[in-house]
Amino acid sequence: MAYQWHSFDNAAAASAALADAVAAALQQALDKKGSAVLAVPGGRSPIAFFEALSQKNLAWQNIGVTLVDERIVPTTHADSNTGLVHEYLLQNQAAAAQWIPVVEAGKTEAGLQPEAVVQTALQHYRQPDVLVLGMGGDGHTASLFPQAPQLDKGLDEANTVPLLHTTPVTAPHERVSMTLAAIAQTPAVFLAIGGAEKKAVFDQAAAAPSKTYPTSYILNHEKVNCHVYYAE
The span from the CA of 197 to the CA of 23, in Å, is 28
Q: Kindly state the average pLDDT of the residues 145-165.
A: 96
Residue 79 burial (CB count, 10 A): 14
Query: Which residue spans within 103-146 are E strands per DSSP?
Result: 130-133
| pLDDT at site 88 | 97
Q: What is the phi-psi region of residue 35: left when phi exceeds 0, alpha when psi lies from -120 to 50, beta otherwise?
A: beta
pLDDT bracket for residue 225 (50, 70, 90): confident
Q: Between these two residues, 40 and 172, which has the higher pLDDT value? A: 40
The span from the CA of 17 to the CA of 143, in Å, is 25
The span from the CA of 218 to the CA of 157, in Å, is 12
Comparing CA positions, the residue from 163, 129, 155, 149 lying closest to residue 216 is 155
| pLDDT at site 96 | 98
| pLDDT at site 1 | 56
Signed CA dihedral, 41, 183, 96, 29: sign only: positive
Average confidence score pLDDT of the chain = 95
